[in-house]
Amino acid sequence: VSLHDGAGLEWRRAADPLSREPADRAAFGVPLRSGRLPGGADSARNAAALLHAALIAGALEAALDMAVDYANTRKQFGRPIGAFQAVQQQLAVCASEAAAAAVACAAAGRAADRRGLEDAGFEIGSAKVVAGEAAGTGGAIAHQ
């Protein structure tokens, strides 16, 4: 898929460095196929911002899943650490951050569907900010 606004947006199939699974990567470069986004450069930037916000939200959800799995597997004092209230509270905060990012991305996507990418800049920008802040808080908790 290629989007033109003067500079092409090229999708590449590459292996993810962590999981070594195939993953799509977007990079500016020579387009594979020609097409146009309505609105030009603003639409392309908003599409990229929405994509990044959604990627952040998905990564945070995956980190939460891994943290919950670890908390239920790792044992301390004869029971899983997920049974401790302090751990449960931190995982609940992480879950709320992941949900906030997902909801913001969904709202931005609906706004883009209704009004187009160019006119949904506020919602898309808000989703990017919410997802970025959620990643900082949720990522720190998942790392702990």
Q: pLDDT digit string (tens) for 80-109?
A: 988 899 999 999 999 999 999 999 999 999
Per-residue H/E/C for the chain:
CEEECCCEEEEEEEECCCCCCEEEEEEEECCCCCCECCCCHHHHHHHHHHHHHHHHHHHHHHHHHHHHHHHHHCEECCEEHHHCHHHHHHHHHHHHHHHHHHHHHHHHHHHHHHHCCHHHHHHHHHHHHHHHHHHHHHHHHHHC
Q: What type of residue is 91?
A: L
Calpha distance 45→52 (Å, rounded): 11
Residue 49 pLDDT: 93
Provide the pLDDT for residue 43: 82
Res 29: pLDDT: 55
Contact 108, 53 (CB under 8 A): yes
Q: What is the per-residue pLDDT for 70?
A: 93
Q: Can you give the pTM of this predicted structure?
A: 0.70
Residue 138: Cβ-neighbour burial (10 angstroms; 0-12, 13-18, 19+): buried
Q: What is the pLDDT of residue 144?
A: 87
2 φ/ψ angles, rounded to the nearest 5 degrees: -140, 140
pLDDT value at residue 96: 96
Bridge partners (DSSP) listed for residue 10: 2, 27
Cα separation, 103 vs 95, whole angstroms: 12
